[in-house]
Chains A and B, each alone.
Chain A
Amino acid sequence: MINSRPLITLFLLLLAPASLLTAMAVGSIDYSFEQLLRGLFTAEDSARHDILWQLRWPRAASAFAAGGLLATAGVLMQVLLRNPLADPYILGTSGGAAAFALFALLAGLGGIWIPGSAFVGALLSTLLVFSLAHGRGSWTSNRLLLTGVVVAFGWGALISFLLVIAPQTRLRGMLYWLMGDLSHSQQSWTALLALGVIFLLCLPLLRRLDILQRGELQAAALGVNIRQSQWLIYTLAALCTAIAVSLAGTVGFVGLIVPHLLRLIIGTSQHRWILPGAVLLGGSLLVLADTLARAIVAPTQLPVGVMTAAIGVPLFLLMLYRGQQR
């Protein structure tokens, strides 16, 4: 079991570039591996070069960043709430982002306004939940969880209301955004940079996360400053989610299943293995899902959320079933 960990990590390290290359090879024009490499690194065919770098790379890179961020947020949230069912959206983050983004779409705004409003909405909702849960009393995981679920329910009602009053012409775009949509991603390098920075910020926390998932009292007795750690983890997770949502809309599922999938495969919850694995697997999974979403009924593009569920549900159930038998 122990020796399989470096192997699995190596596999994930290879999966990441493979998924990105696949995403760039597939589209309205399919490229062979050689065409792909030539197109990427030489400008001999300038149309191909542009298609790859201007169209396909930003989308693939954004998908990778969003997937990696969502998986990271999932890992952090599951530790923070000490609940295996926690996901990046559990505290109403996606609801806030969606409501704000839909407002912008409804108002006929476009471009940077959509991800911008989603980002603001995500952070506002997170702040709202945190301050409500904090209240005057103590800040327990259950209270945070309940506050988040109730606030998310409120956002859900607002979203339904916005969808009902939306004119037909805007409705399709709004629905796509709700199920995850990467077709507007342009900020690929910023997105990857954000993923890198957040990963680096998590590195000194790896052992502390292991201790924190044993429970607050236990962690405090082992020398962890609980209040400070919770703030730190909460802020990091909220940032991850807000960036991911503004890149890709509300892609479900990645943040919930990737951490579990890794724990099942690797057989540990040690974050020195789980966190890098989550970044790689989450990123790759979303890139592949988005590629399938583009290709499967081309030229119609499916929402990426449909594909993450189509891949994730059977994969996760299979792993869970096998894990039980072991």
Chain B
Amino acid sequence: MNTLAARELDVRIGNVHICSRFDWQMQAGEIWGMLGMNGAGKTTLLHTLAGLREPNAGRVLLNDQPLTTLSRRRIAQQLGVLFQSQYEEFPGTVIESTLAGRHPHLHAWQFETEADRQLALQALASVGLAELAQRNVLTLSGGEQQRLAIASLLVQSPQLWLLDEPHNHLDPHQQIRLLDRLVQHVQVHDNSLCMSLHDVNLANRYCSHLLLLYGNAEVIAGPRDEVLNEANLSRLYGHPMCCLQAGKRSAWLPA
């Protein structure tokens, strides 16, 4: 189980036709990377897949059930979303913000338990924020906020992960550390994950499958090794791309 699927999906925003009659499925254990130029509709498609935006036509299915028939709470118990920018308006501590991830798992009259707190502390430790647990969220840097958001998502512990540019605001070593951590979590728990990226090399490093958005209703989706080639990428970015081999590793560069 734990599948997310699109059926005959049609999504447009402004003048951009993101996809048309798009059929797609994400199975447990798969890591999808979503690539496309700025404005090709990566964020919009992610929001549509999360049920936060109505598609122009077609349906999104969570474990074979249309998202529109499920309550937000039921969806949030299984599907977690990382947004591109999350900023806080009101003060509060880092640990409180992390605990927000427990919301879909608690009833209206319940408060978080000690077990929830332990979970939150573990999540903070795993993104390297343990010592900031009592800090005011308004004083965090961009990178710290991004890690906090990921910690909150770990606490939500969904089976399906939709991440919008998870590497935003992070230094290179943090990007690798956090994506390692996330991908490992997803694989250990047999979850599935789809993330938008603007770095082909991160996609190449972490993803088993790729989804290329051309911004003209054309979408190429499939296993990484079938999709990732010079022709597809050069057309995607409107610039010739070439692949450098260094031992087992390969790196994509603009020619």
Contacts and interface: CB of A to CB of B under 8 A. Distances in A.
Q: Do A and B bind each other?
A: yes
Interface of A: 1-2, 78, 82-84, 203-205, 207-208, 210-211, 213-215, 217-218, 220-226, 263-264, 267-270, 272
Interface in B49-75: 50, 52, 71-75
A270 to B, nearest CB: 6
A221 B106 CA distance: 15
Given A263-B90, A268-B96, A270-B96, A221 B50 contact: yes
B76 A222 contact: yes
Contacts of A213: 89-90
Given A208-B108, A222-B104, A222-B156, A268 B91 contact: yes
Contacts of B71: 223, 225
A204 B109 contact: yes
Nearest to A84: B89
Contact of A222 (B91, B96, B103): B103
Nearest to B109: A204
Nearest to B95: A2
A259 to B, nearest CB: 9
Interface residues of B, number: 33
Contacts of B109: 203-204
Interface stretch (B79-87, B168-176, B242-250): B79-87
Given A267-B136, A272-B111, A224 B72 contact: yes
Which 6 residue pairs spanning A and B have beta carbons closest together?
Answer: A223-B76, A223-B104, A269-B90, A223-B73, A221-B81, A204-B108
Interface in B93-126: 93, 96, 100-101, 103-104, 106, 108-111
Contacts of A226: 72
B83 A207 contact: no
Contacts of A204: 108-109
Interface string B130-153: 000010100000000000000000
Given A2-B134, A207-B103, A213-B89, A221 B76 contact: yes
Given A78-B90, A222-B103, A223-B104, 6 more contacts: A207-B110, A208-B103, A222-B104, A223-B71, A224-B73, A224-B103
Contacts of B52: 217, 220-221
